[in-house]
Amino acid sequence: MEIEKRFSKMSKRMKSSIIRELLRDATNTSIISFGGGAPDPETFDREALAKLSQGVLLDEYQISLQYGATEGDPLLKDELIKILEERHGIKGLKHGNLLITVGSQQALDLMGRVFLDEDSYVMVSHPIYLGAASAFRAYGPKFITIDLEDDGLNIDQVEKALKELDSKGEIQKLKFIYTVPNFHNPAGVTMSLEKRKALVELARKYDVLILEDDPYGELRYEGERLPDIYYLANGENVILLNTMSKVMSPGIRIGMIAGDEKIVAKAALAKQGADLCTPTFTQRLVARYLQEGTIFNRIKSAIEIYRKKKNIMLDALQKYVNVEGAKWTKPEGGLFIWVTLPEKYDTMELFEEAKKVGVAYIPGSAFYVDDRVSSSFRLSFCLPPEDQIEEGIKRIGKLL
Ligand SMILES: Cc1ncc(COP(=O)(O)O)c(C=O)c1O
């Protein structure tokens, strides 16, 4: 059978991800990998989770080993609502405003499923989180790309693009503006308060949705916490995605969508067809863990680990990358540093050379929805041990 001919249009739009390939390299111990965004396993609270697992399995087996509601475990929703209220100032959320997902990656896919058609537009930053680009691309929308600056999206470009769509009578085809306001993946930058407010104003004026994706907000190493876009907009026209992946464990695969009840209900319908429900065991485990109230202490120690690693990487870049015109972001949090070299460099080409000297990063071109050559690359400092961070950057410096 010529199987290729049987595949759907959607499946043909799916491309193999360089990140997946790099994750394969990351397991090769001879390579120092600054590739994937996998958290440092030392941050995982394994003893507490092992203890709680016992009770969740033995005492709550009728829930934790059974099918659950597609919408999610009510106990977990209670805990998440509490956190959103106490730490994010978001009040008045009900269970109907939350959907528990298999990581925020599933949330991104569900947003694609419920909003995007082939004639839709999505507005995204350039560079963009690769996983969001692949999730949306599968549904065939047109991307409107907005430059990312040191303080977040270029708001003038956003406004211009909105005006243009509006004047063509196509504003309703713009399904959402996707943004990662805190410690952007891959760029490391954070959207300023002024820009957050301006974005909320624009979304209101043109009546468009903002899809706010915030996996890294709790991982702040310096500076002041900024309010969520969702908070600033009073929840109006904003959908908020969050996840336990970077602050607790990515293997547990718990994420969430918070937003208008109608959107959440539609996403739940889409989720039903995908997987019936998020694993009930990990949902209940996370609920019990959050009830213990120790997660924020744990995050504090993770912050210590990551701040140190980030500073080691920044110092090493300063010391070893002596290329005129090279620059890099100095993130206040999150897991990534974005390095930009002079234009003559093609970091995809360089990537093969880097592997030969035993170091890996993600070439910048992976984070653009067009086929550009990029002189940037993403470094993540979360996974390699401290001594390897310096050694890896030294190798990159020498190669350059
Ligand atoms: C910006 C962003 N969104 C979503 C995700 C997906 O995370 P998960 O599915 O593990 O919650 C990631 C993971 O790296 C990310 O960086």
DSSP string, 113-175: HHH--TT-EEEEEES--HHHHHHHHTT-PEEEEEEEETTEE-HHHHHHHHHHHHHTT-GGGEE
Treating both helix axes as pointing N-terminal to C-terminal, what angle do 46-58 and 280-292 enclose, rounded to 10 degrees? 120
Question: Does 236 share its domain with 109?
Answer: yes
Q: Atom 14 (ligand 1): residue with closest C-alpha?
A: 37
> What pLDDT shows up at residue 347?
95
Q: How far is CA 259 from the centre of its chain?
A: 18
| Owner of token pair 């993600």 | 362
Looking at 292, 313, 329, the residue that finishes a domain is: 292
Rounded Cα–Cα distance for residues 86 and 296 (Å): 12
Q: Atom 6 (ligand 1): residue with closest C-alpha?
A: 105
Query: Is 306:219 a contact under the CB 8 Å cutoff?
Result: yes
Rounded Cα–Cα distance for residues 304 and 322 (Å): 28
Question: Domain with 79 in it: what CATH number?
Answer: 3.40.640.10
Quick one: pLDDT band at residue 308, thresholds 50, 70, 90?
A: very high
Rounded Cα–Cα distance for residues 327 and 323 (Å): 9
Question: Does 70 share its domain with 24?
Answer: no
Rounded Cα–Cα distance for residues 170 and 176 (Å): 13
pLDDT digits (tens, 9 = 90+) for 313-371: 999 999 999 999 999 999 999 999 999 999 999 999 999 899 999 999 999 999 999 98
Q: Which amino acid is at 371?
A: D
Arithmetic mean of pLDDT, 287-312 = 97
Question: Does 54 share its domain with 151?
Answer: yes
Question: Does 284 share its domain with 315?
Answer: no
Question: Does 187 share its domain with 275?
Answer: yes
Looking at 240, 266, 292, the residue that finishes a domain is: 292
Q: Is the pLDDT of residue 22 over 70?
A: no
Q: Is the pLDDT of residue 241 over 60?
A: yes
Nearest to 103 by CA among 213, 217, 182, 239: 213
Question: Domain with 324 in it: what CATH number?
Answer: 3.90.1150.10
Question: Does 288 share its domain with 308?
Answer: no
242 close to ligand 1 (CB < 6 Angstrom)? no
pLDDT digits (tens, 9 = 90+) for 83-141: 999 999 999 999 999 999 999 999 999 999 999 999 999 999 999 999 999 999 999 99
Domain count, the chain: 2
Quick one: pLDDT band at residue 27, thresholds 50, 70, 90?
A: low
Domain holding 148, by residue range, is: 47-292
Arithmetic mean of pLDDT, 56-67 = 98
Question: Does 302 share its domain with 259?
Answer: no
Q: Is the pLDDT of residue 180 over 60?
A: yes
Question: Does 219 share its domain with 349?
Answer: no
Q: Is the pLDDT of residue 17 over 90?
A: no
Question: Does 53 share its domain with 92?
Answer: yes
Question: Does 213 share its domain with 355?
Answer: no
Question: Does 26 share its domain with 117?
Answer: no
Could you give the count of Cα atoms lying within 13 Å of 376 in the half-sphere of its Cβ? Answer: 21
Give just the sign of the alpha carbon dihedral 44, 50, 51, 55: positive
Show the tokens assigned to 113: 């499923």
**In angstroms, what is the span from residue 23 Cα to ligand 1's centroid?**
15
Rounded Cα–Cα distance for residues 213 and 181 (Å): 7
Treating both helix axes as pointing N-terminal to C-terminal, what angle do 74-88 and 280-292 enclose, rounded to 10 degrees? 40
Looking at 271, 292, 313, the residue that finishes a domain is: 292
Rounded Cα–Cα distance for residues 398 and 357 (Å): 10
Q: How far is CA 68 from the centre of its chain?
A: 26
Using DSSP's 3-state secondary structure scheme, residue 297 falls into helix
Nearest to 200 by CA among 155, 153, 177, 232: 232
- The best mutation among 104, 246, 252, 335 to test binding of ligand 1, ranked by most ligand atoms within 8 Å of the C-beta, falls on 104
213 close to ligand 1 (CB < 6 Angstrom)? yes
Question: Does 270 share its domain with 343?
Answer: no
37 close to ligand 1 (CB < 6 Angstrom)? yes
249 close to ligand 1 (CB < 6 Angstrom)? no
131 close to ligand 1 (CB < 6 Angstrom)? yes
